[in-house]
Amino acid sequence: MNKEELERIRQKLLDSFITLNKGDINTKPGHEKWSISQVVLHVAGAETRFMHAAFQGLKENKKTNPADVDLSVFDDPSKKLKAPIEPPEEWKGKDELVEVLKNSREMTFEFLDKYKESDLSGISLNHHRFGEMPIWQIFELVGKHENRHIHQVEDIKKQLGL
């Protein structure tokens, strides 16, 4: 996945909540469900963790030539996945959410600006759910993960009548 596609996905996420007020963003549609704010914090936190794994993979320079992992689990939003880290429930404003998204994306673009896919051929990283995977596939993971949560934000908006 390239920078332009990641930017398109990020803009779609921003557009999904940017016109909402702070109350709407922070209201949970049910006791065991996340608010839009929590979803956004989760997306930014996951992207940051993914990129830490990528930078760690670079540092370790493991040339294991791993096969691509199957990321299709992210394609069906109706299949629920348990997040390894629950996002905080504290209320956040739009500006704070935009800032955490900006910070996580800066880390991703720092990597993309510095390295080319061909330079990293055969190098792997270790992901908590997928195990060893090609380092470059992390960008597909970032995009698929974020798209999945865009659907979640839209579902929360419907549940809240927004």
Residue 109 maps to which CATH number?
1.20.120.450
Sign (positive/negative) of CA torsion 79, 83, 89, 90? negative
Quick one: pLDDT band at residue 81, thresholds 50, 70, 90? confident
Tens of pLDDT, residues 92-108: 999 999 999 999 999 99
If one counts the domains in the chain, the total is 1
The whole-number average pLDDT for the span 52-64 is: 87
Domain that holds residue 147: 3-18+32-77+90-160
Of residues 81 and 14, which shows the higher confidence score? 14
Q: Is the pLDDT of residue 137 over 90?
A: yes
Quick one: pLDDT band at residue 86, thresholds 50, 70, 90? confident
Domain presence at residue 24: no
Are residues 16 and 153 in contact, defined by beta-carbon separation less than 8 angstroms? Answer: yes
